Amino acid sequence: MGTKQMGTTMQALAWIVFIALGVAYFNDVLEEQHNPNQSLQTVSVADGAKEVILQRNKAGHYVTSGRINGEPVVFMLDTGATGVAIPVKIADRLAIPRGPAVPTQTANGTGVSYMTRLDSVSVGDIVRENVPAGVVPGLLTDEILLGMSFLKEIEFTQKGNTLILRQYPGQ
């Protein structure tokens, strides 16, 4: 291999490395814009309640990291959803059992989901146990919809681009 050919090869490799690093960087930036709540802080307030403050993403949604049965997941808060809706691929990864099939009504029409119960669901240090949920075959997303079966015992207040979740002792 000649010097000129080796120089061209090294230059091509340098560009490939540069492009790969750029893609990795911008992937992280885009993920941070989609889920600005990847690292949550929980604050204990005077009345013994726990508070978690979420930031709205660029699309206007509250997306946050959390856990189901101790395993990391990503939630999209959905106060219009009756329960916690889990896409099949995530339910499979978490080994969540499927119970009886039930008809469901969604914004996309009618469908079927499979009832289940989650041992624990958490956002920051706010934890609820024995939470009703559904495994939803038609839900084609990488997020779990965090609906009212989790949120019903949680006080939430929206101000501007923030959502404050508050869990009182005993809830």
Q: Does the pLDDT of residue 11 top 60, yes or no?
A: yes
SS (H, E, C) 22-46: HHHHHHHHHHHHHCCECCCCEEECC
pLDDT of residue 88: 97
Average pLDDT, the chain: 87
- How many percent of the chain have pLDDT more than 90? 67
* Residue 50 confidence class, pLDDT cut points 50, 70, 90: very high
- 104 versus 132: which is more confidently predicted? 132
Phi, psi dihedral angles at 82 (to 5 degrees): -65, -40
- Quote the CA–CA distance of 40 and 136 in Å, as a whole number: 27
List helix spans (H) across 95-169.
148-151
SS (H, E, C) 101-114: EEEEEECCEEEEEE
pLDDT of residue 51: 96
Superfamily holding 36-167: Acid Proteases (2.40.70.10)
What's the whole-number mean pLDDT along residues 14-22? 61
- Quote the CA–CA distance of 108 and 126 in Å, as a whole number: 31
Element (H, E) at 145: strand 144-146
- Quote the CA–CA distance of 83 and 6 in Å, as a whole number: 61
Q: If DSSP codes are grouped into helix, strand and coil, which group holds residue 94?
A: helix
Q: Is 4 exposed, middle or buried, given 0-12, 13-18 or 19+ CB atoms closer than 10 A?
A: exposed
* Residue 46 confidence class, pLDDT cut points 50, 70, 90: confident
Q: Domain map of the chain by residue range?
A: 1-34, 36-167
Phi, psi dihedral angles at 113 (to 5 degrees): -135, 165
pTM for the full predicted model: 0.79
Q: If DSSP codes are grouped into helix, strand and coil, which group holds residue 161?
A: coil
What are the tokens at 156?
């939430």
Adjacency order of strands within the sheet including 155-159: 42-44, 50-55, 162-167, 155-159
Q: Does the pLDDT of residue 19 top 80, yes or no?
A: no
- 30 versus 6: which is more confidently predicted? 6
pLDDT of residue 4: 74
pLDDT 10s digits, 54-77: 999 999 999 999 999 999 999 999
Q: Does the pLDDT of residue 154 top 90, yes or no?
A: yes
